[in-house]
Structures are given as C-alpha cells and as structure tokens.
Chains A and B, each alone.
Chain A
Amino acid sequence: MIHYRNIHKAFDLPVLAGVDLQVETGEMFAVFGPSGTGKSVLLKTTIGLITPDRGDVEIDGASVFFGGKGALQAARHSVGFVFQNAALFDSLNVFDNVGMGIPEDELARLKRPEVARRVGRVLELVNLDPSEVMGKIPSELSGGMKKRVGIARAIVGRPKILLWDEPTTGLDPINAAAVERLITRLSQELEVTSILVTHDVEGGLDMCDRVAMLDGGRLRFCGTPAEFRTFPDRVVRAFVDRAAAEAALDVATEFND
C-alpha cells in the first residue's frame, strides 16, 4: 500500500496543500486534474524525486522520507517510474538504457548474455523486436518506441509498483490507445500496483480501479470510475466536460492531418 500523508509542496506558489491519499496493493489508480495542479509533483514525491515541504509517503508501512537513506533506496528499488517523455539516456543505446533499470548490485552479478536475455524479454513484453532496437540510440527511435523503451526500463528491475507520468502525452490516438492497452496488460501480468497521472480522463476511467482528482493542490475527488462519472461537484463536471472537448479536438485534428 502507498500512503501519501498530508503532502505539502510549494515552489514559487503552493502546488500541493495537504494531500492525503491511499493506494491499495495491486490496485490500478489514476490521478486527474487540470494542468499545474501538482499531479506529477505528487507522483515524484513517491520516490523522493521531489521532497515535500511537509508530510510523508509510506510504502508498505515504511516511511520514504523519515526512514533514512536506506529507505529511499529501498523505495526506488521497489518502484518503476515511466517518465512523460521517456527520459531515455541520449548517449546510451536501447540495450544499455534498459539494462540501467536492473538494480546495480544485481547487474554486477549478472553476465552480459544474462542481461541481454532479460533486456530482450522486457522489450518483447512491450511489443518491440529486440534484434531491431537493442543497438539503436534514442534519437533513432519514434516517439511511441521511446515510450515503450521507457516502460521496458521501468519494468526490467521487477518492481512492485509502477508510476506512470502522462504515458500517452505526445502520442497520436492510435499509439496512445496501444500504450493504454500495454499499461493494462502489464499491470495485470506483472501483478503490480499502478498509479497513473494522465490528462486522458476517459482512458483513465476505463483502465483504473479507482481515480482521484486534484484541484488547487487538494484532493477534490477520490473513488471509483462509476462514482466519478456521476459525481455532482461542479468543478469535477467542468473538468470532465473540458477534457472530453479537448479529446474530441485532438481526434479531429489527427483525422484532418
């Protein structure tokens, strides 16, 4: 279980103002909200990429921020993070990029053919042909392929939790739908807890067991997709309507292109 306890974070202005949230083990959970409401910031606090000004995150009862450096490292080993733009290392090829996802001490014990087998297996899991992509550097890959390599890097370390930061942003509707199917399949096959930050409200509602909405740095809603669809709060309704309009515009633009 992941427990966000009273998370506060301000940069120039407050971004998160006391967020309390629990995500159960094995659950697939989506976080929605308008731009700038701190969704990605909340996700990044999970493994200390951003340190909250106040509050704490607990993973299976262990504090991430007050459990010492060992606790932070342990949290990072148990979590796979899929970044918005994949964040692949420019100077490394796909093999080395994905290999980086294997914990350092484990990687030191493995021989190169074993690493290659493991990297090849996760590349196949994300529907990429290892023989085709392993030697390529990120600049030689398409946007969709980069996302898949980023996902492969996140899962190669066999994490218990997967964090997805806007995994479909920047993809065309066909690729976005393929990545959404991949997220659902991987979360089920790998039996992991998934937290998904997304603008794609309909996609998130279809995929997830529970959803939450952030607004003004606070939790506006937390419940099942069915409850979200009928939640009467005007801010939630306005957000859903706007998101639906934007999604329709994206599809129309893609169709015209």
Chain B
Amino acid sequence: MPNVIAPLAAWFAGFGRGTQLTLAHAGSLGRLFWQICRVTVQLKVSFRDVANQFYIMGIQSLPIVLVTGALAGIVTSQQGGYQMTSIVPRYVIGSLVVETVVLEMGPVLTAIVLVGRVGARITAELGTMVVSEQIDAYHSLGRDPVALLAAPRVLAGVIVLPLLVGIANFIGIIAGMVTAYLDVGLGYESFLYGARLFWHSWDLLYSLSKAMIFGLAIPLISVHMGLLTRGGAEGVGRTTTQAVMFMTLTILILDALFPPLMLQ
C-alpha cells in the first residue's frame, strides 16, 4: 500500500507546486499589464522611449522577418504544387498560399522570430539590470521602471508586430506566387484568381489581430521574466531560457485559441 501512496503523494505535490507557480506567474503578469495600462493612460510613457523600442523591434527585425516571410511562401507553394498536381486545379495553389500565409504562417513565424530576437533580448537586458541593482536604482530615485522600461517595450510590440506581420504576409504571397510560376508553371493571373476564390477581408483582420495579441504577449512575458531574475549571470541565462520557452509555448497556445474565437 505505501508503494502506491508515496508516488501519488509526490505527483499531487508536484501538481500543486506547478499550479501554484502558474497562478503566481498569471497574477504577476496581470498586475504588470494593469500597471502598464495605468502609466500609459496617465501619459507617463516617453514617446522617445517608445520610438526607440519601435526602431529596435521593428526596423532592426525587418531583414529576418522578410527572409522568414519569403521562405514561408516558397515552402507552402512548393508543397501545394507537389500535393495538388493532377488532383485539383492548379490555381488552388494561390488560395492555399494566401490563406496559409495570412492566417497562420505569417503571424506565427514572425512571432517566433521575435521571441528569439526581441523577447530574449528584453529578458536578458532587464535581468542584467536587476542583478546589477539598476532596477533598485530607479526605485531609489523615485522613478517607476514600469513607465520607463516596461511600457515602452510593450507599446512598441503591440504596434510593431501587426506591421511586421503585414509585411511578412505580403512578401510571403509574392514569394509563393513566383515559386508557383517557377515550380509548376502557374501563371500570376491564375494564382491571383485562386487567391481571390477563398479570400475574405476578415482573414486579414484575423491575421493582424493575432499579430497584435502576440505583440502584447512577447514583450509582456519577457519584461515579466526579466524582472524576476535572481542570482547573477547564471540567473540571467536561466531566466532568458525559461522566458523563450514560456513565450514560444504561449504563442502556440494563443494560436490554437484563435480559430474557435474568430473563425467560426
């Protein structure tokens, strides 16, 4: 009998610790979000800081986003061409590329790229500021790190990601169209005909809504994790790794929640 009770007790203890940790993170994230909303409404966020973050997150991420978007379009087009040869009309590739890129590949791949390029950077930067007492220094000087550090990053993320996803979608579609022409000889007019067949304006709104939510989640989680950092350089490395995992998982979970909410 004790052989059964001990593992069960250990499982429940682990489950309890996991639940407690998840709830603590959720509460802390909620509080941070509320504080960011408050300082934004109170106009305590510097426009210059938001513009600076916009440049770092947006302009500096543009090359990798362009490459990712183009590759997403190319791969979708190639696979579409392979699967649809002789079964369905080839112009359906246009529909497949546009819908796949706009609804899924554009927002998700751009978000994943930004998790690595922007999210990890924010966590490491703020984590270093915590362990080197710079965050304490802000507090000691009567300054609010939420207004100075967190809010500009989150606001910039919410603005930047829909723009980047819009660009990634556009580049992905163009790349898919060119690939379809080169790969299976599908003309541009046929591609666009196919694209228009299943297109709804709602799809673009869906794509950009996803981008906006991802643009909120990435900097919010990365700031939250950065501010939780403890324990020197090792702690910064550990927290950054955890933050990347946490952000990636969150993006994928949010992605799974979108279709039942917006595509019914």
Contact = CB atoms under 8 A, between A and B. Distances in A.
- Residue of B134, B137, B139 with most partner-chain A CB within 10 A: B137
Interface residues of B, number: 12
B137 A81 contact: yes
Contact of B134 (A81, A87, A104): A87
Interface string B148-166: 0000000000000000000
Interface string B121-140: 00000001100111011011
B214 to A, nearest CB: 26
B139 A49 contact: yes
B141 A76 contact: yes
B143 interface: yes
B31 to A, nearest CB: 15
- Which secondary structure characterizes the binding site on chain B? helix
B183 to A, nearest CB: 47
A85 B142 contact: no
A83 interface: yes
B132 A76 contact: no
A45 to B, nearest CB: 12
Contact of A89 (B134, B139, B142): B134
B142 A83 contact: no
A101 B134 contact: no
Contacts of B140: 47, 49, 76, 79, 81, 83
Contacts of B133: 83-85, 87
B142 A104 contact: yes
A101 B142 CA distance: 9
Given A83-B137, A87-B137, A77 B142 contact: yes
A100 B141 CA distance: 7
Interface of A: 44, 47-49, 73, 76-77, 79, 81, 83-85, 87-90, 100-101, 103-104, 153, 157
